[in-house]
Structure 1
Amino acid sequence: MKRNGILNSHISKILSDLGHTDQIVIADAGLPIPKDVPRIDLALTLGVPSFEDVVRIVSEDMVVEKVILAREIKEKNADTLTYMNETFSQTKIGFVSHEDFKEITKQAKVIIRTGEVTPYANCILQAGVIF
């Protein structure tokens, strides 16, 4: 058994397989998931697990060089935007329209679905390197 880190074997495997610039998505319960992108569904009930919990745990185990958010988050979900700015204060954060965000998700290695039910609580995390 692992001593620490992510216990979910599917998430752990995806993170281990990421290369530089590969992207994963952490999504709220409502984000449409493209048919050809693998899904890891963690949603148990409304709000569980939260977007913030999943982002925190994944980002502790992943080198993130860039974050992409839907620009609509600025007006529709200030609390989540504040959390993302604090969590990724040393990381470049880019903004695209929600429609463009959904297009970018088609290239993701995986989409991790949370139980989050607040608007635009979705992010794309781009893998960096440790060297």
Structure 2
Amino acid sequence: MAKRRILNERLAAIVASIRHGEMLFIADSGSGTCSKALYPLDPSVEYLDVEVVTGSPTFEDVVRTLAEAGDFEGAIITEDMPDQNPKDYGMLCELFGENKVRQINYAPEYYQLRDRCKAVIQTGDIGIHAQAVLIAGYPSADIDIKVLLGETKFTTIPKKDRK
């Protein structure tokens, strides 16, 4: 099966430039991104609105396309998504494997993570918790969630101390 091509010029450029460990926030239509939102988007994060009409494209459309056209190894979701949006949660588990779909608290941790992303991609999806942070890279050892959240720095064990 041939890979899909991303036709949106800016989205294609974002996906082409993303590197291992960088993240994209795929947002539903209701994700607040203006300066007056409960958790305003950090101005250093690129914002791309791909909404066409209410409900389109869906979260699933965008995530499946990104997973097929780019290199993503996992996702981070709110801990509420499995209960409140089991369809999209199941889709993420299908794409990445259940052990590569990590859950964190919604507010404020999820919004703090959003502000560490390379870009926010706003879909037209109106589903509850139809959003996820996609982690760029190839299937590899898990990246420590504390590193992704900025709570700890990435470190390695010196070769002489490895067993």
TM-score normalised over the length of structure 2: 0.73
Pick one of 114, 118, 124 that aligns with 2:133.
124
Q: CA RMSD in A?
A: 2.0
Q: Percent identity?
A: 27
1:125 is paired with a residue whose SS is: strand
The answer to whether the 8 Å contact 1:26/1:124 transfers is yes
Counterpart amino acid of residue 10 in structure 2: H
What's 1:110 paired with? Answer: 119
Deviations 1:35-70 (A, max 9, x none): 412111011222111110011111111211221001
Distance in structure 2 (CA, Å) of the matches to 1:128 and 1:116: 25
The answer to whether the 8 Å contact 2:73/2:139 transfers is no
2:25 is paired with a residue whose SS is: strand
Q: Which runs of 5+ in 1 are unaligned?
A: none
Distance in structure 1 (CA, Å) of the matches to 2:112 and 2:133: 12
Pick one of 43, 46, 60 that aligns with 2:54.
46
Deviations 1:1-27 (A, max 9, x none): xxx511111111111111110100111
Larger relative contact order (Cα-Cα within 8 Å, sequence gap ≥ 6): 1
Aligned length: 129
Q: Map 1:33-112 to 2 at 5 A.
A: 33=33, 34-36=41-43, 37-89=45-97, 92-99=100-107, 100-112=109-121
Q: Which runs of 5+ in 2 are unaligned?
A: 34-40, 141-163
Q: In the TM superposition, what is the alpha-carbon distance from 1:130 to its structure 2 partner?
A: 8.1
Q: In the TM superposition, what is the alpha-carbon distance from 1:83 to its structure 2 partner?
A: 1.5
Distance in structure 2 (CA, Å) of the matches to 1:88 and 1:66: 5
More strand by share: 1
TM-score normalised over the length of structure 1: 0.89
Distance in structure 1 (CA, Å) of the matches to 2:138 and 2:91: 23
Distance in structure 2 (CA, Å) of the matches to 1:83 and 1:26: 14
What's 2:23 paired with? Answer: 23
Structure 1 pair 91/13, CA: closer, same or farther in 2 (3 Å)? farther
Counterpart amino acid of residue 70 in structure 1: T
Distance in structure 1 (CA, Å) of the matches to 2:105 and 2:130: 13
